[in-house]
C-alpha cells in the first residue's frame, strides 16, 4: 500500500497537480469518509476498501489500479477530471 501511495503522490508532485492527502490510519473521520464515498461496485467482496483511493472533491475516481492504467495510457488528467496543461504528454488518451 505504501509503495502505491508513494507512486501516486510522486506523480502528482512531479506534474505539479494540486492534491490533498487524507490520512485514514490516524484519522477515524477520514477513514469513515473514504469508506462511505467509495461506490458499492468498487468495494472489495469482503472487508473495507484499501488505500490509495482517488477522489476529485467527493467524486470517486478509482483505486491505484485505475490510476496506473490511466497513467500507462497517458490519460491521467482525464482520469483525474482535470484539464491537461498545454503541451502535456499525459493529457489525452493515446489511440494505441
Q: Are 77 and 91 in contact (CB under 8 A)?
A: yes
Domain ranges of the chain: 1-80
Fold topology of 1-80: Glutaredoxin (3.40.30)
Q: Are 81 and 61 in contact (CB under 8 A)?
A: yes
Distance CA 10, CA 16 (A): 10
Q: What is the pLDDT of residues 33-81, one digit of tens each?
A: 999 999 999 999 999 999 999 999 999 999 999 999 999 999 999 999 9
Q: What is the pLDDT of residue 43?
A: 93
Q: Are 72 and 93 in contact (CB under 8 A)?
A: no
Is residue 24 predicted with pLDDT exceeding 80? yes
CA 78 to chain centre: 12
C-alpha cell at 18: 494540486
Distance CA 80, CA 48 (A): 23
Amino acid at each position: 500500500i505504501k509503495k502505491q501511495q508513494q507512486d501516486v503522490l510522486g506523480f502528482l508532485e512531479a506534474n505539479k497537480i494540486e492534491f490533498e492527502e487524507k490520512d485514514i490510519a490516524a484519522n477515524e473521520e477520514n477513514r469513515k469518509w473514504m469508506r462511505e464515498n467509495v461506490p458499492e461496485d468498487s468495494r472489495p467482496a469482503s472487508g473495507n476498501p484499501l488505500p490509495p483511493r482517488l477522489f476529485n472533491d467527493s467524486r470517486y475516481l478509482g483505486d491505484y489500479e485505475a490510476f496506473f492504467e490511466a497513467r500507462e495510457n497517458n490519460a491521467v488528467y482525464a482520469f483525474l477530471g482535470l484539464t491537461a496543461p498545454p503541451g502535456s504528454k499525459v493529457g489525452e488518451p493515446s489511440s494505441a
